[in-house]
Every structure is written in C-alpha cells, then in structure tokens.
Structure 1
Amino acid sequence: MNIDVQQEKKSDEAFVFEIIKEAFQDKEYSDQQEHFLVERLRKSDAFIPQLSLIARFENQIIGHILMTKIKIKNQGNTYDSLALAPVSVLPKFQGKGVGTQLIKEAHKKAKELGFDSIILLGHKNYYPKFGYKQAHTFDIELPFDVPKENCMAIELTKGALKNISGVIEYPKEFGL
C-alpha cells in the first residue's frame, strides 16, 4: 500500500472524527469516546499540530495518530514527555501497516521537535515491536490503576528516561 502520512489540516478534522469513531466502535478495551478526546485535546495547551498526523490512501484519509504534551512528575522535578493517544485506522485498512507508518512518522516528527520520550496505554503485544517497554522499568507510573503490561514508554533519545522517575500528569482534557 502506498500511504502518504502528513500533518492534519483543519479541513480534515470532520473526517478524522469519523475515522476515530469507526476505528474504536467495536473495541472491548475502549470507552468509544476517543473521537471526543481528540476534539478536546486539539483545543488544549497540550496540542502540538505537527504531531496530529493523518494517513492517506488514494486521496482518502484512512488513519490518524495524535501525540500531546504530558509531564512526568516526582517530589522534586517535572519532566516533559508525550502521550501517544490514539492511533486510529479505518477497520478495512487495519492489519495492513497503516498504524505502523503513522507511529514511525510520529516518532520521527516528535524527535525533530525535540521530544525525547513517549508514554502510552495500549495493547501489550502491539507496541513493543516499535521499541516500547513497560513504563515501570523506567520507574514511571500512571495516575490510575492499569495492568503494567499495558503502560509503556519509549526513549526517542537513548538514555532519555535513565534518571527520570515519577507519575504521569495528563492534561485535564483526558478527563482523568
């Protein structure tokens, strides 16, 4: 498949809303509200337009990925990082490498923008192929109970999380 990954434009937002809604409508681990989360995050201080990417195939938007700013906090320090959430691909294009291309391009753009790490809550068997490791191995925790195998982190720059520990602070738009 010849997929073009590019920054989302304002005119893409309605299409992206529907793609996210459709991508998560039958997922048991989802609250089926990811499309509303993306709308809230676009209006937040955590939003980074260059990290809201779409995938096009034959001039049709078939996927989307969003990364937003988060903090890792401990008693004495606060560190910048990114949250990857969500990755959405139209069901008929799932399993064809669209998500992989979106994730790889988002990693590249994030690094170009000076970000060193990404945290996510996701499928324990999918994200490790991109280099994600369980976040607890970096001494990073989420602010809510979740199976540790689903909370993951990646260093975009080698050693970026070496001396960092703490709890993730999500923007209020996540509704946590």
Structure 2
Amino acid sequence: MTTLRLRPEDPADTGAVRRVLAAAFARPDVTTPPEVGLVDELRGSHAWLPELAMVAEYGGEVVGYALLSRVRVSSDEVSAPALALGPVAVAPHRRRIGLGAAVVQAVLDAATELGERLVVVLGDPAYYRRFGFSRADRMGLTSPWSGLGEPWQALVLPPSANAEAPPPRGEVVFPPPWSKV
C-alpha cells in the first residue's frame, strides 16, 4: 500500500518542489512557469514561513505542494498580518486522488495551530469552497485581483484562545515576488 505523508518542506526538497511546480504549471509558451520563480523568491524574503510550506509525499516521492506566505492587510486604522495561499500544485501523474486537497488542508491546519486568522487565495471558487473560502470582497478585502470577483477569496481561520479579534479588513498587500505572477 502506498502511503501519503504530509509535512513541512525541508531544504532538501527544493529540487523536488521545483519539479512539481514546473510540471503542474507547464505551458507550451514558457520554459519555466512563473510559479517556480515565485516560490524561489519567496524563500529568500520576509514573507517566507518555513512551517507553512507543505509537501505531499506519496510513496516516498514529493508529488504535491501548498504554500502560505505572509501578506499584510492595510486600512486607515491598522496593518495586520494575513496569509496568501499559493501556489498549490500536484504532479500531473498523481492528480485526481485527493493529494491537492490533503496538502491544502494540512497547510491550513498548520496555520490554525500557529494562531493565524486570515488566508486569501486567487483560484477556482468551486475547488476552494470545500475548505471554507468565500468571496474576499464581501469580507471587506481588496487587492489587485479584486476585479476578478469570485476567484478572489478569503478564509477566516478558527480563532485561537488568545486571538478573539475579528479578522482585518482593507487592502491586501502582497510582497514583491507576487507581482511577477
């Protein structure tokens, strides 16, 4: 029986993660998909949270990936931390067996355990709804992708014992690496 193991990315996984991202986001018009560069640049930035870079290992092979990186929600009153989900990838030869959902749920669970409150994502509403995401604009969150409507989504994570404050509202400010995607 093949086993699934979900765990934080280890520095030794960098090459495998790059291969999964390159295969998952491959397009005939690009040599290296921008998602590969995004993760590489985030690794060297203040937005990188190593405990929130999760791999799915299936049969001893890294075949899935989900990343949460630091963003800020800014308004006139406050600037608060939040997280951006992405990229999420599964190697093409391992799709349709639940690995994507498993690695996304694992990284969201890890963020909840760390006391994080808010996650944003740009993606397929039908897919991300299963995790509790809903339209971010209806939560008072804007971004460069707000105009896309339903794909711009947010999830309020369960509060920890010491974080009962409501989630922040305002403009979601992404770190510079995100501008290249």
Normalization by structure 2: what TM-score? 0.88
Q: Indicate the RMSD between aligned Cα atoms, in angstroms.
A: 2.2
The residue number in structure 1 matching 2:84 is 83
Whole-Å separation in 1 of the counterparts to 2:165 and 2:124: 21
Structure 1 residues 163 and 113, CA gap change in structure 2 (3 angstroms): closer
Amino acid at match of 1:3: L
- 1:142 maps to which residue? 143
- The answer for the alignment partner of 2:172 in structure 1 is 168
Give the equivalent residue in structure 2 for 1:72.
Answer: 73
Q: Which amino acid aligns with 1:40?
A: E
**Identity rate, percent:** 25
Report the alpha carbon displacement of residue 26 of structure 1 after superposing the two structures with TM.
Answer: 4.0
With 108-117 and 38-47 compared, the bigger mean Cα shift is at 108-117
Deviates more, 1:157-166 or 1:66-75: 157-166
Task: Structure 2: give runs of 5+ residues left out of the alignment.
Answer: none
> Partner of 1:22 in structure 2?
23
Aligned residues: 174
Q: 1:32 maps to which residue?
A: 33
Task: Report Cα offsets for 1:84-135 as digits up to 9, x if no partner.
Answer: 0110100121121001111111111101112011001111211001100000
Q: Which amino acid aligns with 2:174?
A: Y
| Structure 1 stretches lacking a partner, 5+ long | none
Describe the SS at the equivalent of 2:76: coil
Of 143-152 and 60-69, the range deviating more from structure 2:
143-152
Within a 5 Å distance, the mapping from 1:2-151 to structure 2 comes to: 2-26=3-27, 32-144=33-145, 146-151=147-152
SS, match of residue 84 in structure 2: strand
Partners of 1:160 and 1:85 in 2: CA distance: 26
CA contact (8 A) 1:84 1:118 kept: yes
Instruction: Name the amino acid aligned to 1:130.
Output: F
Deviation, 1:52, is 0.7
The amino acid of 1:172's aligned partner reads P
Separation in 1 of the partners of 2:147 and 2:39? 21
AA matched with 1:68? S
Q: Return the alpha-carbon distance in structure 1 between the equivalents of residues 90 and 167 of structure 2.
A: 35
Indicate if the aligned counterparts of 2:120 and 2:153 stay in contact, CA closer than 8 A: yes
Detail structure 1 runs of 4+ shifted over 4 Å in the superposition. Answer: 158-163
Is the Cα–Cα contact under 8 Å of residues 125 and 134 in structure 2 kept in the other structure?
no
